[in-house]
Amino acid sequence: MKNRYLVCGAGGFIGGHLVKSLLQDGHELVCVDIKPLENWFQLFDCNKNFSLDLKEYENCLKLTKNIDYVYNMACNMGGMGFIENNKAECMLSVLINTNLLRACLINKIKKYFFSSSACVYNADKQSNVFINGLKESDAYPAMPEDGYGWEKLFSERMCRHFYEDYGLETRIARYHNVYGPMGTFDGGREKAPAALCRKIVIAKNARVKKIDVWGDGEQTRSFMFIDDCIKGTKKIFESNCREVLNVGSEEQVSINQMIKIIEEISDYKVEKNYQLDMPKGVRGRSSNNDLVRKKIGWDSEISLKFGLEITYKWIENEISKKLNNNKFTIKY
């Protein structure tokens, strides 16, 4: 059945892929992002597209009018380098969720989705490498990533209370390190998979044998390919489950192991210049998917190597186009 969706953060990485998927399902979409339209990662002219700041309540009120469902993918975020150095900016995203929830009540939205993050998890449970996967209950007692993690955890609670107090149906997913094509790979907001693919592409083109690696390379994560993320997102949204659910991969690797995979994909070996003074986040983080499997029957399906092959080739092609047009500054 055709419905009218508002996708907030539609100009971002995950938002752009979600918009594409919802269009393929035949829905009518209103899309909004704070970025100018020319800076959206994916832009579809068949939608109603707006460049507006959702921290302003009046914008939220206007955009939610005559809408059936809302996906809130909007926040100010990036990789570890960005969120560690922009804590106040990240926390201001709480205004987006708060004002959207208020507007959804006024305009009688049927269901609201909030995109949370594994950054909400208690840091004490992430102090070692190759930890057990984090269960949803591990967010408490609360000790999330400072700034960005606190905003996400607070906004989760806000969604919960808007259901309890006002009956607004809310759904929440905690994303674990989403990566893939059509996303940021340079400029300071990129995450580890894209950053390392970019560094090895540039090193190979320039025949340089060394790349910079933040930390000692032993820190571990699980990384989820964008296609798995979109499937999990939509399945949670369409479900009757109001609990917060992980959407991540259980395939945990160290940064050094991921570099080795990218070396195999690129057929190019590099030396690693470890930068121990750079932001590196928690020591270990991975998803436990027991609850999401039980509640809605979703699990990640795409292996890290397969996803990195697609991501590497896309970044390699993008860099090649930018180098040919003299629009890319080489940074190793």
**Residues marked as catalytic:** 148
Q: How far apart are CA 185 and CA 314, in angstroms?
A: 10
Q: How far apart are CA 126 and CA 187, in angstroms?
A: 28
Strand 28-33 and strand 48-51: the pairing is parallel
Strand 178-179 and strand 170-175: the pairing is unpaired
- Burial of 326 (C-beta count, 10 Å sphere; 0-12/13-18/19+): exposed
Show the beta-strand stretches assigned E in 89-242. Answer: 111-117, 170-175, 178-179, 210-214, 220-222, 224-225
Task: Find out whether 69 and 111 touch, Cβ atoms under 8 Å.
Answer: yes
Nearest CA among 301, 250, 298, 256 for reference residue 134: 250
